[in-house]
Amino acid sequence: MKIGRKTQIALSAAALLVALAFLAIGVLRSHVVLREEAPPADAMPPPSLIGPGGRVDHAQVQKFMEQLQPRIVEMQIGDRELVRNATFTGVARRDGVLVLTYDPATATGKQACPT
């Protein structure tokens, strides 16, 4: 079965439009990624933990302990950044959720591809 020239051009144009549509979707799409934010390294207990007479203020101790817990932060990243992070630095899927395995605030420099 021979395909005519006009049919060939129409099929090529349709394939090009589909490819461009997929590229546009990939550029515009974003993903929610979770990351753990570590507590500040210089976290010091406030002097108010020990009240008058050497008594411990348990409410203040509880507030201080909550500050030391890592917080989960949501980030929106695009398809391109997700692929780059998953390939070079680390995005893992845990219980169906994407989680960064590094701190994006620190510069990691150029790394070798693990594959």
pTM over 0.85: no
Residue 78: strand, helix, or coil: strand
pLDDT digit string, tens, across residues 30-64 = 877 777 777 666 666 666 666 666 677 777 777 77
Q: Tokens at residue 40, please?
A: 């500040």
Domain boundaries, given as residue ranges, for the chain: 30-100
Q: What share of the chain is helix, strand, coil (3-state, %, to 5)?
A: 45, 25, 30
Radius of gyration of the chain (CA): 26
Mean pLDDT over residues 98-115, rounded? 64
